Structure 1
Amino acid sequence: MRRRLLPLICVTGTLVSACGTLPGTQPRETVTVWLMKGSASADFLKRFTADFESTHKDLRLDIRTQDWTGIVAKVRKALADTSGDAPDVIEVGNTQVPLYADGGRLADLTLESMRDWGKDKWLPGLAEPGKEGNQQYGIPWYAANRVVVYRKDLFAQAGIARPPRTRDEWLADTEKLNTGDTQGIYLAGQDWYTLSGFIWDEGGDLARKVDDYQWKGALDTPEALRGMDFYRRLQSLGDGPKDADEEHPPQAGVFAGGKVAQIVAVPGLAQSILERNPALKGKLGFFPVPGPTASRPGAVFTGGSDLVVPQHTGDQFAATAVVGALTSAKWDTELARTMNYVPNKTTLAGAVSGEEGVAAMAVGAAHGRATPNTPQWADVEADNPIKQYMSRVLNGADPATEARRASRKITEALTPDL
């Protein structure tokens, strides 16, 4: 962390002002904030800005919306900018934080995290990718993850009184639903995010850290193979394509066709389903992905955003004030309610309990995970060997052989050029 310099101040009574300047007359300092398109509504940002500026008389917010397309290169350029014109706070995808923390380009926010922001209550799927060693660079803002979106009417017709709570119940119920021209579940063969959860539930992982510099692919461990076997059994209870992911074709369109009992997706996909088939209004329900036992739901990949502060910010105190406000219980809860997100802390889950889909998502998020915390993970996803592995196994290839092949490719992709 770069040294923080306290500004010279004068104190008169209870008022603090710049020396030689009358209270209330000093100019506001502008804090530039980059937020991603769609993360927060215009009304939310208007309300937040008014509240923040009213309680921080010396600061003014300049919030600029960014597109996700091309954002990695744009953020990297901003982090290298020492001119003073770069942003002071940046929203980044939670799994992108290792890309930006590499090379010491982000401010270390460990002290604030422990002292002021309650890091022990953060969702693990947001907090872990923002961490490097014992240092915290990414501050959790909001989360979203997959749940099971299901047809309440089809469940009732099959005699299923309540959603399943264990994997065994889920398989049994899905088999009942998979009858006639109705698919018990539509699960694309390359939905590797969903597979990841099953692997984590078994105690496995996609890759494991060997030492300070090296990661090794771990799909060939017994735990990961058990996760893949469950995926294979579940996927067989429907007609999902074995050689494509959930966007090819988009599963919202398939579900809207009316012949599918379940999909694994973020709850927001229900809106797209209803737009395609309004007749399903009132028939959709949500439940957390079941785990091996009823004592806790299944692990899920947690997506979402963290907030980071560039090392070259002109005023780290001002930047952290913005981060602290945006991620505070008040405004994080307000954002979750406004945008149907999961708040950044497990203790705030009750704030979204009134909305069925978001409530199911929050239950899963408490046990969420993220992809391996290494800058090289993007290289794995560029030519994703996990997808290839899944398709080969679902098409009848030997799981152990294919897992070893995929693990070698993951290891190669994660090996940095030293």
Structure 2
Amino acid sequence: MSVLLMTAGLSACGGSSDTSGDDSGGSTAIDVWLMRDSVSAAFQDDFVKGFETAHPDIEVKVQIQEWDGIGEKVTAALASNDAPDVIETGNTQVARFAQSGGLLDLSDKVGELGGKDWLKGLAEPGAYEGKQYGIPYYAANRVVIYRTDLFEEAGVDASAIKTRDQWIAATEKLNSGDTQGIYLPGQNWFTLAGFVWDEGGDLAAESGGKWQGALDTPEAIRGMEFYEKLQALGRGPKDSDEANPPQADVMAKGKVAQVISSPGGANTVIESNPELKGRLGFFPIPGKSASTPGAVFTGGSDLVIPTASGKQDAAYTFIRELTGDAWQKKLAVAMSYVPNKTTLASAVAADPGAAAMAVGAAEGHATPNTPGWAAVEAKNPIKDYLTAVLTGGDPHKEAAIASEAITTAMNSGS
């Protein structure tokens, strides 16, 4: 695909001078922070070369950052006079950084960037208090990875599983003999969140300027009831998450018919057990009705521009091109990601895992859009709630306890 040719000189990005600090003949050098393993080195090199060819007046200097500790590093950079010009950040981190006042408001660029078609799971957390700071970059979400051979042996047609009821019926049929119908550990809280959203509930809600935990609402409790029903059809632990033990290892070592994971989990399964190559398939997490896939948590990244950048016009040009249709299609194919717009889903039609992911992404959500959510994830009372219910606790009582813990964490910020 040809590179999109774009112009700089964007007055809406503030009064930036766009001068470089080098002797490159008047060109603008921008510093860009991208995250480790978000894209391959090959794709990064391809994009940078294409971008610099299209924009010979802009030089791109990419610095790869580690996810571990990135929140503190970005916070410090935004408060300094030496911030990078473009930063890749996790979609749910944008509110935290925007709260400090250190991000450039890009609200007036949403239309130009095709924002009406953005995945809401990237766009909504990229906004804070009615202003758009984060520009959707790429998305990934969970799907069902299944053993095609075990489905065939049980006479189950994966393509016919469109609803939750059909999913339960199929899993019950698969769960026989030495075959485990599904491996779903007790603390997979992102999966629970999807079931809660399906029911019209949420993890927390804002009222009167304050956030409150919402796991004790009727809708959220119905989501928990479905989780409990599905989890009972496997032999997953009730007191640990999908990383303990790694569920890909569990699937690789035994006759596990299904796991809920991002499609990349299939590669890990095959690495552990090469005999399963060609025996894994994908389908979207089913919803309550056949017309709507199950809700999923949308992971992924947004791109932001620090207010401290002195090269905001060039930084915006970089973001506009990387998040534009031409490069989004290339990125999706190269990395098996979901593109940032619903209108680009066909770009991954030939990739079974990414195609299933794209279907679910249309019903993607993000965690509550507030800086205080970071404190919830740090303590994660949702995991404790799941284990308590799955080990016999009263759902209503345990939901009230978890909701109170969420409320306290969100409003204390600690």
TM-score (norm 1): 0.93
Per-residue deviation at 1:181? 1.6
Matches within 5 A, 1:186-197: 186-197=183-194
Residues 3, 316 of structure 1: alpha-carbon distance in 2 compared, 3 angstrom cutoff: closer
- Mapped to 1, the partners of 2:55 and 2:117 lie a distance apart of 26
**Residue 215 of structure 2 is aligned with which of 187, 207, 219?**
219
Distance 1:7 1:100 in 2: 24
- Taking the aligned partners of 1:3 and 1:322, their CA distance within structure 2 comes to 13
Question: Is the partner of 2:32 in helix, strand or coil?
Answer: strand
- Once the two structures are TM-superposed, the CA of residue 2 in structure 1 deviates from its matched residue by 8.9
Instruction: Confirm or deny: 8 A CA contact 2:119 2:341 kept in the other structure.
Output: yes
Structure 1 distance, partners of 2:394, 2:231, is 17
Partner of 2:14: 4
How far is the alpha carbon of 1:6 from its aligned partner? 7.4
Question: Which residues in structure 2 correspond to 1:112-191 (within 5 Å)?
Answer: 112-114=109-111, 116-163=112-159, 164-191=161-188
**Alpha-carbon distance in 1 for matches of 2:16, 2:308:** 16
Write the letter of the residue equivalent to 1:310.
Answer: P
Q: How does 1:367-378 map to 2 (within 5 A)?
A: 367-378=363-374
Match of 1:100 in 2: 97
User: Number of residues paired by the alignment?
Assistant: 398
Q: Assess if the C-alpha contact under 8 Å between 1:167 and 1:291 holds in 2.
A: yes
CA distance in 2, matches of 1:78, 1:211: 32
Match of 2:299 in 1: 303
Distance 1:405 1:416 in 2: 17
Q: 1:222-260, CA deviations, whole angstroms, 9 ceiling, x for partnerless residues?
A: 000000000000000010000000111000000001311
Match of 1:270 in 2: 266
Aligned pairs for 1:337-348 (under 5 A) are 337-348=333-344
The 5 Å alignment of 1:13-412 reads 26-82=25-81, 85-114=82-111, 116-163=112-159, 164-212=161-209, 214-412=210-408
CA distance in 2, matches of 1:103, 1:45: 30
Q: Look up the equivalent residue of 2:307 and give its one-letter code.
A: Q
AA in 1 matched with 2:162:
R
Residues 54 and 416 of structure 1, relative CA distance in 2, 3 Å threshold: same
Give me the CA root mean square deviation.
Answer: 1.7
The AA in structure 2 aligned to 1:36 is M
Kindly indicate whether the alpha-carbon contact (under 8 Å) linking 2:16 and 2:313 is maintained by their aligned counterparts in 1.
no
Question: How many angstroms does 1:308 deviate by?
Answer: 0.5
Contact 1:32 1:63 in 2 (8 A): yes
CA distance in 2, matches of 1:380, 1:6: 37
**How much has 1:4 moved relative to structure 2?**
2.0
Computing the radius of gyration from Cα coordinates, the structure with the larger value is 1
Q: Deviations over 1:199-231 (max 9, x none)?
A: 00000000001133x100000000000000000
1:265 partner amino acid: S
Q: Distance in 2 between matches of 1:371 and 1:267?
A: 21
Distance 1:173 1:5 in 2: 60
Residue 8 of structure 2: aligned partner: none
Letter of the 1:95 partner, please give it. Answer: T
Cα contact 2:158–2:283 (8 A) shared by 1: no
Q: Identify the range of structure 1 (151-160 vs 384-393) with the bigger mean alpha-carbon deviation.
A: 151-160
Query: Could you tell me whether the CA contact under 8 Å between 2:16 and 2:311 is conserved in 1?
Result: no
C-alpha deviation, 1:134, in angstroms: 2.2
CA distance in 2, matches of 1:121, 1:286: 25
Structure 1: which 4+ aligned runs deviate by more than 6 Å? none
Partner Cα distance (2:221, 2:345) in 1: 33
Give the share of equivalent positions with the same residue, in percent: 57
Residue 289 of structure 2 aligns with an amino acid whose one-letter code is T
Amino acid at match of 1:4: G
1:14 aligned partner: none
TM-superposition CA deviations, 1:247-305 (whole Å, max 9, x none): 11000000001311000000001111001111111110000000000001000001000
- Calculate the TM-score normalised by the size of structure 2: 0.94
Distance 1:378 1:69, change over 3 A: same
> Deviation at 1:103?
2.1
Whichever residue aligns with residue 231 of structure 2, its letter is: Q
SS of the counterpart of 1:285? strand
State the alpha-carbon separation in 1 of the partners of residues 16 and 390 from structure 2: 61
Letter of the 2:99 counterpart: D
Superposed CA offset, 1:319-363 (max 9, x none)? 111110110111111111111111000000100010100100010
Residues 28 and 311 in structure 2, CA contact (< 8 A), matched pair in contact too: no
User: 2:16, 2:68 → 1: CA distance?
Assistant: 38
Mapped contact 1:379–1:414 kept (Cα < 8 A):
yes
Residues 199 and 223 of structure 2 are in contact (CA less than 8 Å); yes or no, is this contact kept in structure 1?
A: yes
Q: Is the 8 A contact 2:17 2:310 kept in 1?
A: no
Counterpart contact for 1:2–1:107, Cα < 8 Å: no
| 2:17/2:311 contact within 8 Å kept | no
Q: What secondary structure is seen at the aligned counterpart in 1 of 2:365? A: coil
- For 1:57-97, what per-residue CA distance to the aligned partner results, in whole angstroms no more than 9, with x for missing partners? 22111111111111111111111111xx3200000001111
Query: CA shift at 1:26, angstroms?
Result: 4.0
